Amino acid sequence: MLEQMLMTHSILIKAFLGFLVLGLFIPQFAGKDGLKFKKASFIYTMVFQAIATMIAFAGLVAMVSGDLGMTVTSIIMIIVWAIMMFLEIKKHKSIKKSDLSDEATFTASKSSFMKVNVIQILILVAMVVMMILRAKGVISI
């Protein structure tokens, strides 16, 4: 059971990373249409939150069912999850409240969307690399 939950957790993280990379194309997909960008950003945020919640749930089930306990690694994962959710919610609220009919605001919103996505990708990649190094015994956390 534990191996299955950890595998599910791992697969969800890889799917999430792919989703984040695909999210980099949303500003290009929207083109110069502010309403289309706002709608695409909303859908992206909802899917982001759904996948992030599935990852957290799979990790929690693995932690509880495998009697893994609250380790430093688990605490780091929880903090990373909270940071990524905070960034995504902040990004969504910013885009939702901005007047995208103004060209400068629209360009700034698209730029901030890209920057936050890149930061989220870097955070997730750093976490994956840390877990790979931990599994190989290179680091001990």
Q: What's the pTM value of the predicted model, to 2 decimals? A: 0.89
The pLDDT of residue 37: 92
Query: Residue 101's pLDDT is what?
Result: 85
Residue 13 neighbours by CB under 8 Å, 6+ apart: 55, 124, 128
Pure H helices in the chain: 2-23, 26-30, 34-65, 72-97, 103-135
Summarize pLDDT for 13-22 with one digit per residue, the tens: 999 999 999 9
Render pLDDT for 46-94 as a digit per residue (tens, 0 to 9). 999 999 999 999 988 888 888 777 889 889 999 999 999 999 999 999 9
* Lookup: tokens for 138: 């290179």
| Residue 141 clears pLDDT 90, i.e. is over it | no
pLDDT of 42: 94
Domain extents in the chain: 2-135
Residue 130: what pLDDT?
A: 94
pLDDT value at residue 64: 87
Under 8 Å between Cβ of 43 and 90: no
User: Distance between CA atoms of 56 and 58, rounded to whole angstroms?
Assistant: 6
The pLDDT value recorded for residue 126 is 95
